[in-house]
Chains A and B, each alone.
Chain A
Amino acid sequence: MAEYLIKNGFVFDPVQGIDGDKKDIAIKDGKIVEKVGSGAKEIDASGKTVMAGGVDIHSHVAGPKVNVGRIFRPEDKNLAPWDVARGVRRMAGGFSIPTTFRTGYKYAEMGYTTVMEAAMPPFFARHTHEEMRDTPILDQGAYPVFGNNWFVLEYLKNQEIENTAAYIAWLLRMSKGFAIKNVNPGGTEAWSWGLNCTTIHDPVPYFDITPAEIVKGLIEANEYLKLPHCMHVHSNNLGNPGNYETTLDTLKLASGYTAKNDFGRDQVLHHTHIQFHSYGGTSWGSFESKGTEVAEYVNSQKNISCDIGFVTLDETTTMTADGPFEHHLCELNHLKWANVDVELETGSGVVPYVYSPDIFVCGIQWATGLEIALAGKDMMRFHLTTDHPNAGPFTRYPRVMKWLMSTKARDEMFATMKNEDKVRDRTALGGMDRELTLSEIAMMTRAGPARVLGLSHMYGSLTPGLDGDVAVYDYNPDTASDPEAIETAFANAAFLFKQGELIINEGEIVSNGNKRTLWVDVKTNENAQVERDISLKFSKFYTMTKNNYEVSAEHYLANPYVIEIDATQ
């Protein structure tokens, strides 16, 4: 394999404490190394920024609800021009729900090399893996959803953590999943009864268990299994005025738990798209940001992390396993709505949404995300996401970086809003003059997510021995003064390496790489009860058999990469 030497770039690697020093980065045999031989191919990175490949901890890029979005929004294809096939690139299109090819190319152009699909219904895991297989370049993994799963609800109702864990280990193996996702715990099951859970104490109909018990039980099962990533939660009451109290209640459930794993992860709970969960007020009229309050609680607890879910003020497509929320959204904007119930496991909904800078609620949502990030202290635990495509397409990450790094850029956005005064009045953002550094951006976009995913031995840093994932951006931190340069540079990586292979050369994609699919195989003690329960439920309730349910790695996964764990006590 070719050797490369990336010379003279401004290197930002918070893991090694390198903060913009001019250094050379060497790559050999797919890994970062101390040095390479004199025959190595040299890449001139002088005047450019060098970082590890980006890692996205939460994005909806594959699976049935993404595809429902693509099918029921042909007009989304009109919002972005089609990329014609050229060189190694296939034809690609779509704006908020891009095709699999565009997903791979656009992430690569932003210098990202690893992207986690944040919600995989196990029943449709084969489809999810098929789409990931068609997404070029990126290493990927998917989180099966557990928060509304009948097995989990029944075991946790009886406080059977070992059975819950054995079931989760089985399902991760069946679906080739990576982590435990928990969406609107109990609420999506309640939605099957026309109800919802909006606080952590609302009982789930029939199962008579509360969201609080589900969250705590899944944290315990996660640590029992010693998984790389922690329990990944989208808490109850998303998007509603006053919901920050439910969020704080949920975060407090993690208190007292300590992470148990061999992956260097300290967190037991990751709260996703926390921006959508940080609102005050009692109605849409009195809607306001409580971002600072939520950020301060995250600051105070080292065993939790979050990603933000920045609103980018675009026309986009919302999609979530939070079925009741999507119905609620459809009643607010009267646009088209798709709802799916996935037998015994989960549900989902899809609704288009236009975040207009002229609507003050949208303006406050935009400001809330930025407020949370700027009130964050340990940026290794505050990650950059847009909950793609819910708060905005992932292609806007460079724009979010611009807002985070420049008060001027934020003021320019404020100035375009019809209700600027009201938005400034209801959020703390206007009074914040913090501008994030490139080191902090590297924490939010690679080092931090890699650490919380339990993948810091592969990604997120340029430490020798890690994967040769390196992004070079045409951005000179010494001379750049125009915030627009941030957005342009981080949307158009000059060079990108994935596992030591040159993917982008001078701004052009030259290889589709050799993507891998990460999954977790946990060995647990034999559990006859869980085995019997699974057989019984499949024969009694499921419309497919176990044989049609399992995702076989060799047939469905591109370069399966298994992480094996022994959880037999």
Chain B
Amino acid sequence: MDTVTLTIKEQPPLYLEAEVFNPDALAGKTAQEIADLPLPMGNTVCKVGDYFTVAGKGGATAAETKVVVNGDLAKVKYIGARMSSGEVVINSSTDMYVGAWMTGGKILVKGSVGDFAATAMKGGELVIEGNAGNYLAAAYRGDWRGMQGGRIHVKGNVAADTGFYMMGGEIVIDGDVGEHVMIHADGGKTVIKGNAKSRLGGQMVRGEIYLFGSLELMMPGFQHVGDVELEVEGVKATFAEYIGDVGERHPKSKGQIIYGKLYQKK
């Protein structure tokens, strides 16, 4: 595996749209070729080399390419977006759309990420050591296809609207979460090890939410149907089981109505 190291050298006046900071775009390219790639900023298009020093080179394929991004990336968007394989390591905090539309490969963020991380993610793995913003693993604005596959692990806290229109895949949040988790979801699983606020699973058709901590307000569309013993993320415990959102359309499978499930640790 070859490594490309991108280090920011000065802060841009506007936000940079780093759509090429992923193994797919950098595979097979030399440092000079990478420095010449386009880097949109506002209504202008800069070059990668204008704001980043480039070291190393891309591997023969995306799978053999590792991209490391260093420095203060608070004004850089789209790192790892649309990647299909290989590896991305972001050594600090960064802005929106990290790993959006990704279909494979692995992203490790050593800081926090902005909003819309993993938008409509289909596969691969995203690990965030800090916090994540709003609309993690959500659908794009207006779209009905949120996260469909892969795994996300956030070691910190997450803001609102996580898993909006989620259809598949798995999210594990070690910290607390904001309002609106898995709204409109039609599949997928979210584990919240910390506390939640309100409106978990609103208009959820299918999917599962596991909550270890407290919940400020349960949606009225969720019904308590009993208690179950479960092992979730290596923790064995008793969980209260809720089905919902009963106000929504629910498909049938083998004569059984399929509901969204919400489990809260007792």
Contacts and interface: CB of A to CB of B under 8 A. Distances in A.
Interface of A: 72-76, 78, 334-336
Interface in B203-236: none
Nearest to A334: B249
B141 interface: yes
Contacts of A75: 139-143
A295 B192 CA distance: 60
Contacts of A76: 142
Contacts of A72: 142
A73 B140 CA distance: 10
B142 A74 contact: yes
B138 to A, nearest CB: 12
B19 to A, nearest CB: 11
A335 B144 contact: yes
The secondary structure that dominates the B interface is loop
Contacts of A73: 142
Nearest to B43: A84
B22 to A, nearest CB: 17
B140 A336 contact: no
Nearest to B101: A78
B144 to A, nearest CB: 6
A336 B140 CA distance: 14
A73 to B, nearest CB: 6
Interface in B223-266: 249
Nearest to A73: B142
Contacts of B140: 74-75, 78
Contacts of A74: 140-142
12 contacts: A72-B142, A73-B142, A74-B140, A74-B141, A75-B139, A75-B141, A75-B142, A75-B143, A76-B142, A78-B140, A334-B249, A336-B144
A412 B144 CA distance: 30
Interface string B133-160: 0000001111110000000000000000
Contacts of B249: 334
Nearest to B186: A334
Interface string B151-193: 0000000000000000000000000000000000000000000
A335 B144 CA distance: 8
Nearest to A333: B144
Contacts of B144: 335-336
Contacts of B142: 72-76
A336 B184 CA distance: 12
A336 B144 CA distance: 9
Nearest to B40: A84
A335 B141 CA distance: 14
Contacts of B141: 74-75
Given A75-B140, A75-B143, A334-B249, 7 more contacts: A74-B142, A75-B139, A75-B141, A75-B142, A76-B142, A335-B144, A336-B144
Nearest to B141: A74
B250 to A, nearest CB: 11
